Chain A
Amino acid sequence: MSIAWYLAVSALIFAIGAGGVMVKRNPLVILLCLELMLNAANLALIAFSRMHGTDDGQVFALIVMVVAACEVTVGLGIIVAMYRRRVPVDVDELRELQG
């Protein structure tokens, strides 16, 4: 399979993740969709790394994984804190940064 196929899959997954971010209201699921997008990027990176024959893309993908892990940590921490303070866990209800 040529590299192009992998790239096509990556694009599709990215789009699905983006749509999910816009549509879902539970912040947990939004974070999951964010993970989807990061993974799609990872796939593309690995594909290009294969294309060039160097390891740079793979290292990049590893670092992306690290970043994703950190982000999930903090994001989930916020969601837990929200839940504990009885704030509704619904992105549509959190509108205090308006105006």
Chain B
Amino acid sequence: MAEAFFFIAAIGAIAGAIGVIRLDSPFYSVLSLVVHLISLAALFLLLRAEFVAAAQVVVYAGAVMVLYVFVVAYVGGAEPMRRPYAPGLRGLSVVFAAVIAVELWIALLGTGLKAVDTEGAGFDPNPPEGQATFGTPEAIGDALLTKFLLPFELASLLLLVAAVGAVVLARRRRGAGIEDPSEVGVLSVVDALRPEGTGTMREAVSGLPPVEQRELEPAKPSEPEGGW
């Protein structure tokens, strides 16, 4: 029975992964990833990691992917793209990916660890007093607050940083084209002092106008011999 579930989940995961890279529209890719994530949650359950499976569905497939859907809806999808810059890279990428897959298989499956061939350590649904069952929220919470306290705190700090980053990125500056002129009043005096530009880091650092508006200097021909 478990084998059947495993295969269904595994095939779902792989199919989702392939779908992400093969489907044209980014929107479809996102949906494919959601399928992949849910299959992965199933796999986690099969491995008795209850809490992680739940977290995967709720947080990952739920929150993160919804965020993705919003962005894809805003940005739009499959615009016709110009000719790729390096056509040979496609074939090469397939080769590299295949190489990585093969190497990882060899590494993971050819390992001398005997335990890989088993179904893992024994599972005790009724552990002795003071110990939580493997994979339950109780156990995870216990670990997070005792053994892994520091990573836990640092992870929360990381979340803070990400939140601040998102706010900074979302700010509007005076750009080459402001969608809504009525929003000009939102800007402050400091914005008025900033030079015109599209707000890239490059402009902020060098003070140069954006790329489309500036003629790049043609490269100087290399000097002839002599003049060392």
Which A residues fall within an 8 A CB radius of B?
1-20, 22-26, 28-29, 32-33, 35-36, 39, 42-44, 46-47, 49-53, 55-56, 58-59, 61-63, 65-74, 76-81, 83-87, 89-90, 92-93, 95-96
Contact = CB atoms under 8 A, between A and B. Distances in A.
| Closest 3 pairs (CB-CB, A-B) | A53-B121, A19-B97, A15-B101
A59 B148 contact: yes
Given A28-B29, A62-B144, 11 more contacts: A5-B6, A22-B97, A23-B21, A28-B68, A29-B21, A29-B29, A52-B115, A53-B123, A62-B55, A77-B170, A83-B76
12 contacts: A7-B108, A17-B20, A22-B89, A22-B93, A22-B97, A28-B26, A39-B60, A53-B123, A59-B147, A73-B165, A77-B170, A81-B170
A72 B13 contact: no
Interface centre among B81, B108, B158, B159 (most CB of A within 10 A): B108
B47 A13 contact: no
A2 B68 contact: no
Contacts of B113: 51
Nearest to B119: A2
B223 interface: no
A50 B220 CA distance: 62
A13 to B, nearest CB: 5
Interface in B42-71: 43-44, 46-49, 51-52, 55-56, 59-60, 63-64, 67-68, 71
Contacts of B176: 85-86
Nearest to A70: B162
Interface in B6-26: 6, 10, 13-14, 17-18, 20-21, 26
Range of interface residues on B (Cβ < 8 Å): 35 or more
A73 B198 contact: no
A2 B49 CA distance: 15
Given A4-B109, A7-B109, A73-B166, A62 B140 contact: yes
Nearest to B91: A23
Interface string B80-109: 011011000110111011101100110011
B40 A51 contact: no
Contacts of A1: 2-3, 6, 46, 119
Given A8-B105, A23-B93, A50-B49, A16 B198 contact: no
B228 to A, nearest CB: 23
B200 interface: yes
Nearest to A91: B85
A93 B159 CA distance: 31
B209 interface: no
A58 B51 contact: yes
